[in-house]
Amino acid sequence: MKIAFLDSGIGGLCVAAKLFEKRQGEFLYYADSDYMPYGALTENVLRNHLKKVSAKLISLGATVIVLACNTATAVAIDDLREEFPQTTFVGTEPAVKPALCFDGNVIVLATPLTLRQKRFSRLLASDDGRRFITPDCGRLAYLIERDYPDIKEASQLVDEILEPYADSDAKTVVIGCTHYTYLEEYIKRRYAFNVVSGTGGVVRQIIRVADKGCFSSPSLLRVYSGISAEQSVLQDRAKRVCNVEVAPF
């Protein structure tokens, strides 16, 4: 019994790190680097690819698969649950509902593919009359993945996105992509926006649905990069983000 995290790169490491803060265990992390970014794929290609990756993770003992990616969740989680009914899938969605606790309009930072999905439209259906602003964030995940931990260029791009709203009636920013979590503290320092992320909720859901046996081993993160030449880079990044022992699988 294992918990596996699946993302197109390092974004989901933020979710794994939060889980390690709450529980110990031997977890799997699949950084799908050769398909990064997911937002550049067609929906059918992404769905079919994620079925193959999920089958691989299940063969390695995963009983819970965390789609630590908003785009993957929006596009494929329903199909994956139907394809693998014996496996528990935990998704990641923009924290729109928590953002409604604050006054003012809401800026949602998410990939274009996430924004086009019906699952996201249903989240916006909880609107109580305020406006949701969805700026173009198409390059953010790529810049973070390319440059981490030096995300200066990504920080400059998020400034271009947010500065026009700094003195507007928009009061809250929703982090709608796990990659963007690496910019969360920067946004909090630089702007007066309330900043909300779904990471904590995802971790609570993992703890609720996972068997206790998933948390019985010493903390270890086994990682795999879709690009073999980047395996050592991924291991270094995983250790930096999660602060636990890291090994390949």
Catalytic residue annotation:
69, 177
Tokens 């690009």: give the residue. Answer: 227
Alpha-carbon distances, residue 152 vs 148, 156, 173, 188, 242 (angstroms): 9, 6, 20, 16, 21
Calculate ∠ Cα 40-43-48, nearest 5°: 110
Q: Which value, in Å, is the radius of gyration of the alpha carbons in the chain?
A: 17
179-210 residues labelled b (16+ CB within 10 A) or e (exposed): bbbbbbeebeeebebbbbbbbeebbebbeeeb
The DSSP code for 177 is S
Q: How far is CA 198 from the centre of its chain?
A: 9
Shortest CA distance to 141 belongs to which of 177, 87, 102, 96?
Answer: 177
- Here the tokens at position 40 are 């550049």
DSSP assignment string, 82-122? HH-TTSEEE-----HHHHTTSSSEEEEE--HHHHTSHHHHH
Residue 89 phi, psi dihedral angles, 5° rounding = -110, 130
